[in-house]
Amino acid sequence: MRALAVKPKYAHQIIEGKKTIEIRSKRTKIKERVAIYSSAPEKKIIGTVEIVASSKCNDDIEYELYKNKHLAPDKYYIEGKTHFWHLRRPVKFGTPIPIKWPSTGSWAQIELPGVD
């Protein structure tokens, strides 16, 4: 399964269903259920979420309009380079799974027993 590394504050907001848009500098073609890795200091897979769409943020007004969905501060908006990854159907694991992140980037391929 693919896993996406996210800062702990935002990882938990995603899994709790409060954050339904992830802010990234590039669009994604990935449209599937992915594991959410809460990065340092937690370093655990805390659940999964479906990425259902990716769209470009057109301007600072649009960024502001969707603030209640992405929950990110203004410092993450970069004109012409901000993308929204639309998230749905989060699943929170009862017990987070500690893992050693096998990558230096945002994405990694991981094995999660019993999770498709």
Q: What's the CATH number where 49 sits?
A: 2.30.130.30
Q: What are 29-63's pLDDT values in tens digits?
A: 999 999 999 999 999 999 999 999 999 999 999 99
Closest among 30, 44, 35 to 2, alpha carbons compared: 35
Residue 77 lies in a domain: yes
Other C-beta atoms within 10 Å of 45: how many?
22
Burial of 38 (0-12, 13-18, 19+ CB in 10 A): buried
Task: Work out how many domains the chain is built from and give that number.
Answer: 1
Non-local (6+) Cβ contacts of 65 within 8 A are none
Residue 40 lies in a domain: yes
Name the region of 80 (left: φ>0; alpha: ψ -120 to 50; beta: rest). left
Mean pLDDT (the chain, rounded): 95
Domain that holds residue 47: 2-109
Residue 114 lies in a domain: no
Residue 58 lies in a domain: yes
Residue 115 lies in a domain: no
Residue 116 lies in a domain: no
Residue 69 lies in a domain: yes
> Can you give the pLDDT at residue 36?
98
